Amino acid sequence: MINRPQTLGEFIIDHQRDFNYASGELSQLLSSIRLASKIVTREIRKAGLTDILGASGVENVQGEVQMKLDDVANEIFLKALKNRGIICGLASEEMDSYIIFDEEKHAESKYVVLIDPLDGSSNIDVNVSVGTIFSIYRRVTPVGQPAELKDFLQPGNQQVAAGYVVYGSSTMLVYTTGNGVNGFTLEPSIGTFQLSHPNMQMPVDGKIYSVNTGNYLKFPDGVKAYIDYCQDKDPDTNRPYTGRYIGSLVSDFHRNLLKGGIYFYPEGTNAPNGKLRLLYECNPLAFLAEQAGGLATDGHQRILDIQPDELHQRVPFFVGSKHMVEKAMTFM
């Protein structure tokens, strides 16, 4: 009897009943994300060898020079998600506005997807991990009509599923449908994601703080005070903590999910609302964090309770081990 880990496909089928409106559509959606993440893995693994490195010269809506691989990843996810006919609309960090799928085969689609197809892509050139982050909502406008902006501007507490792919020493897909968090590692020799991290729990305490201290002087006093606390000695709480900042949100989040820790990108004079986007970075990671026993706030309120008013809205972001985020909030 060969005892092998469950594949993602088998897991999805086994947990079909966990999905609200278990119509199989969400399963299909996750399968298209699974396919796209394998294709992106292939592109990333050869990035150093082909000319997709180097900026495409085009600036994205964030005013950031778009790396060619950003474009490639965006196209790969767009095509995989569109082809299954499951979603009626898609919003992406790499696109100014959302796009609507209103052909015949999308007419009965119930879901919309928001995605950051390749977060941390500036790390590609130096061979550092990057990630994809996705968030799935049930549409709020009537099925059968074209999706509208309000389908995308839902608070994070309305997500039906969320997850990320981290393209690191291995490719891992981690997601939740509101029934806990599970992690799958790509077995490249057979091209399947296998359940490697069942029921992931974020330690409620940790010793790692993750922030760009290069912005220290630009932070509000409360944030400076919390960083000073992290760096201050206290044998009772294992301080000073260890600083770890990869410059790739998904990688910093993933490490904290496994080992405990806090990641924060606060507001500052260089970023009045922080740098991270509420809809396709903070909300999905906040959903995952809470499902794993962690916490995510903007320094004052739950990320998941924020009512978005703009597609590319930025918010200050504190996410990670529950006790660490709670402690940080006392300084804000």
Q: Which residues bind ligand P6P (CB under 6 A)?
A: 119-120, 122, 212, 247-249, 275
Nearer to ligand P6P, 68 or 275 (CB): 275
| Residue type (1 letter), 258 | L
Least separation in angstroms between residue 126's CB and ligand P6P is 13
| Residue type (1 letter), 35 | L
CA angle 140, 180, 283 (to 5 degrees): 45
Least separation in angstroms between residue 212's CB and ligand P6P is 3
Secondary structure of residue 61 in the 3-state scheme? coil
Nearer to ligand P6P, 178 or 247 (CB): 247
Least separation in angstroms between residue 282's CB and ligand P6P is 11
Nearer to ligand P6P, 151 or 252 (CB): 252
φ, ψ (nearest 5 deg) of residue 44 = -70, -40
Q: Quote helix, strand, coil % in the chain, to nearest 5.
A: 35, 25, 35
Nearer to ligand P6P, 8 or 250 (CB): 250
Secondary structure of residue 175 in the 3-state scheme? strand
Distance CA 128, CA 301 (A): 32
Tokens 């709020």 belong to residue = 140
One-letter-per-residue 3-state SS of 91-144: EECCCCCCEECCCHHHCCCCEEEEEEEEECHHHHHHCCCEEEEEEEEECCCCCC
Least separation in angstroms between residue 293's CB and ligand P6P is 22
Distance CA 318, CA 304 (A): 12
Least separation in angstroms between residue 280's CB and ligand P6P is 11
Nearer to ligand P6P, 139 or 254 (CB): 254
CA 38 to chain centroid: 17
Nearer to ligand P6P, 84 or 244 (CB): 244
Q: What one-character-per-residue DSSP string does 270-310 give?
A: TBBTBSSBIIIIIHHHHHHHHHTT-EEESSSSBGGG----S
CA 209 to chain centroid: 19
Least separation in angstroms between residue 248's CB and ligand P6P is 5
Least separation in angstroms between residue 278's CB and ligand P6P is 13
Least separation in angstroms between residue 252's CB and ligand P6P is 6
CB 46 within 8 A of CB 38: no
Nearer to ligand P6P, 43 or 70 (CB): 70
Nearer to ligand P6P, 178 or 220 (CB): 220
